[in-house]
């Protein structure tokens, strides 16, 4: 797909359309028939509330212009979050209720902290595997196999779809992105298409599993949908992935990755770190399923696994080098003897430091902004307006689209808090739409946001936006398949 200057007006128009869509969706909430706010005070019609909405829209407009402005996406949302909560605090102090605002802020901060720590551990493991040359070795293997770009596109997308139900969509997307950026290093257009495909596949795969996404965890934990019932969304989720992937695959050049067919050697402990990562994911799953504790507990425990293993690697490094030197000397292997000179001790905290902090800070800003608007009453008001004024089907479809702009976690939280009267099929529908709706924009899901940081310069907001119509086609098709396939569940 060409990316010349002739496409700039179209891209600007798409960005303006997205901003207008957000304003329209927020304008719906100003209905006088809607109910009260989430906090003690309803600020949705106040001057403070309207200013807060304007600040949020302006911040997101700056995020959307990241590629043109060359400004990190975390900056505007950090400032916006501070201003929104400062206004909330000022109003509540004036009315003698500062404790209410403080409690709400702490609850919102807790929501972010769980997500941030989960992300931090996942990023640390990925950085550790990259430092141990796991992805270099995988890239070398793919080059030796001679996979074409189109085959790589389908392999990474397919793996993302089938791994995300187990390892969650965020972690899976980051793993596949690391492979793509290594295999197609420097080919921005191909990396962008692969990242879009990975985000769609990971979000779709995460929608039919309790472990695949934070929103599915929320629904499962609330006891609304049982474990086995999530798998009724498998076929709709598969359709959501396959339709846009099939269209995008026609725009991939029919050639193979350029590069040298090198023999990459894994650094000591690489395979064991991969096993520790799988053990960490299993620990996170066990914490939730067996102990009914947040999965982040298992992830942080897994970080401890890595730290202990890093300690072992450092302490045993001199003995390991000496043994290998003796072995390679006997064999006369000069190449591997030279490699020993480049061995450095493994340091876990260096891997933590290399995490994508712009992404983590962006998450903080988004969660705190949305949490502040929700406390003012906008999220509850929007959800209530939709479910009282529209049918549940159209409300759930619309909320899925909104989750691409706002974030699916607070949207699902608002729906679960309201507990609208809906059939079981409708609860499955909102689970599906909130899970896959975030694929419409790169900022609509944790996977998309993380990949924007991981593949900075190649995968961008505007690069994802130009494929939004194709992704929307998959979104609509998945809903139609669910309405047809699970029609019986809408009767109860």
Q: What is the DSSP string of 57-75?
A: HHHHHHHHTHHHHT--THH
Mean pLDDT of 327-352: 63
Residue 474 has what pLDDT?
96
What are 458's two structure tokens?
Answer: 């190649």
pTM of the model: 0.67
CA distances to 3, 254, 290 from 223, rounded to whole Å, are 47, 48, 15
What span, in angstroms and rounded, lies between the C-alpha atoms of 486 and 419?
A: 21
Mean pLDDT of 221-239: 85
Residue 27 has what pLDDT?
35
DSSP secondary structure string for all residues of 126-154: HHHHHHTTHHHHHHHHHHHHT--HHHHHH
Mean pLDDT of 229-256: 91
pLDDT in tens, 208-219: 887 677 778 778
What span, in angstroms and rounded, lies between the C-alpha atoms of 206 and 110?
A: 23
Residue 258 has what pLDDT?
66
Residue 265 has pLDDT above 90, yes or no: no
Percent of the chain clearing pLDDT 70 (strictly above): 79
Rounded to a whole number, what is the distance in angstroms from the first to the last CA of the chain?
47
Residue ranges per structural domain of the chain: 5-267+353-490
Residue 2 has what pLDDT?
36
Q: What is the mean pLDDT of the chain?
A: 79
Question: How many C-alpha atoms does 41 have within 13 Å on its Cβ side?
Answer: 24
CA distances to 36, 305, 321, 427 from 172, rounded to whole Å, are 39, 20, 34, 25
Kindly indicate the confidence band of residue 154, based on its pLDDT and cuts at 50, 70 and 90: very high
What span, in angstroms and rounded, lies between the C-alpha atoms of 58 and 52?
A: 10
Residue 5 has what pLDDT?
37
Residue 356 has what pLDDT?
66
Residue 386 has pLDDT above 70, yes or no: yes
Residue 317 has what pLDDT?
78
Name which of 132, 82, 55, 136 is nearest 350 in CA terms.
Answer: 132
What span, in angstroms and rounded, lies between the C-alpha atoms of 297 and 283?
A: 8
pLDDT in tens, 284-303: 878 877 887 887 888 899 99
| Residues 378/26, Cβ–Cβ less than 8 Å | yes
pLDDT in tens, 104-119: 898 888 877 877 787 7
The region of weakest confidence among 58-72, 227-241, 251-265 is 251-265
At which residue do the structure tokens 């609208």 appear? 420
What are 12's two structure tokens?
Answer: 């600007």
Residue 33 has what pLDDT?
32
pLDDT in tens, 119-151: 788 778 878 887 787 877 877 777 777 788 898
DSSP3 helix / strand / coil % (the chain, rounded to 5): 75, 0, 25
| Residues 77/372, Cβ–Cβ less than 8 Å | no
Residue 120 has what pLDDT?
82
Kindly indicate the confidence band of residue 489, based on its pLDDT and cuts at 50, 70 and 90: confident
Residue 243 has what pLDDT?
96
Residue 406 has pLDDT above 80, yes or no: no
| Residues 399/384, Cβ–Cβ less than 8 Å | no
What span, in angstroms and rounded, lies between the C-alpha atoms of 363 and 177?
A: 19
Report how far Cα 231 is from the mean position of its chain's Cα atoms: 21
Residue 200 has what pLDDT?
95
Residue 20 has pLDDT above 50, yes or no: no
């Amino acid at each position: 797909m060409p990316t010349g200057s002739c496409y700039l007006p179209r891209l600007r128009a798409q960005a303006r359309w997205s901003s207008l869509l957000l304003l329209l969706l927020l304008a719906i909430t100003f209905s006088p028939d809607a109910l009260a706010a989430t906090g003690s005070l309803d600020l949705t019609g106040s001057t403070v509330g309207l200013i807060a909405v304007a600040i949020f829209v302006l911040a997101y407009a700056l995020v959307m212009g990241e590629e043109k402005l060359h400004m990190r996406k975390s900056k505007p949302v950090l400032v916006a979050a501070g201003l929104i909560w400062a206004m909330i605090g000022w109003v509540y102090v004036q009315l003698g209720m500062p404790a209410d605002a403080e409690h709400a802020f702490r609850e919102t901060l807790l929501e972010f902290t769980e997500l941030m720590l989960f992300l931090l551990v996942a990023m640390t493991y990925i950085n550790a595997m990259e430092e141990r040359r796991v992805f270099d070795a995988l890239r070398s293997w793919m080059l030796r196999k001679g996979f074409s770009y189109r085959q790589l596109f389908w392999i990474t997308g397919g793996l993302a779809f089938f791994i995300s139900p187990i390892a969650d969509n965020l972690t899976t997307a980051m793993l596949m992105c690391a492979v793509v950026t290594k295999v197609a290093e420097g080919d921005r257009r191909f990396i962008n298409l692969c990242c879009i495909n990975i985000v769609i596949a990971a979000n779709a795969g995460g929608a039919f599993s309790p472990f695949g996404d934070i929103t599915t965890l929320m629904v499962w934990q609330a006891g609304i949908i049982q474990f086995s019932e999530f798998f009724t969304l498998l076929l709709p989720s598969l359709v959501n992935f396959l339709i846009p992937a099939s269209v995008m695959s026609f725009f991939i050049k029919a050639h193979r990755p350029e590069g040298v067919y090198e023999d990459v050697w894994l650094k000591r402990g690489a395979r064991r770190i991969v096993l520790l990562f799988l053990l960490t994911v299993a620990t996170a799953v066990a914490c939730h399923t067996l102990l009914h504790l947040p999965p982040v507990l298992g992830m942080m425990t897994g970080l401890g696994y890595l730290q202990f293993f890093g300690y072992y690697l450092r302490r045993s490094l001199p003995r390991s080098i000496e043994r290998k030197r003796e072995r390679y000397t006997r064999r006369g292997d000069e190449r591997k003897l030279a490699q020993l000179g480049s061995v450095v001790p493994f340091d876990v905290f260096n891997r933590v430091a290399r995490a994508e902090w712009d992404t983590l800070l962006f998450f903080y800003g988004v969660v705190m902004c949305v949490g502040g608007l929700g406390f003012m009453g906008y999220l509850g008001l929007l959800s209530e307006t939709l479910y009282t004024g529209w049918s549940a089907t159209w409300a759930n479809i619309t909320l899925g689209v909104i989750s691409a702009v706002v974030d699916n976690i607070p949207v699902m939280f608002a729906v679960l808090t309201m507990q609208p009267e809906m059939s079981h099929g409708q609860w499955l529908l909102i689970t599906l739409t909130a899970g896959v709706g975030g694929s419409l924009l790169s900022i609509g899901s944790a996977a998309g946001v993380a990949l924007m940081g991981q593949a900075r310069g190649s995968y961008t907001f505007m690069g994802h936006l130009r494929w939004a119509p194709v992704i929307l086609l998959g979104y609509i098709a998945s809903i139609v398949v669910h309405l047809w396939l699970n029609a019986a569940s809408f009767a109860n």
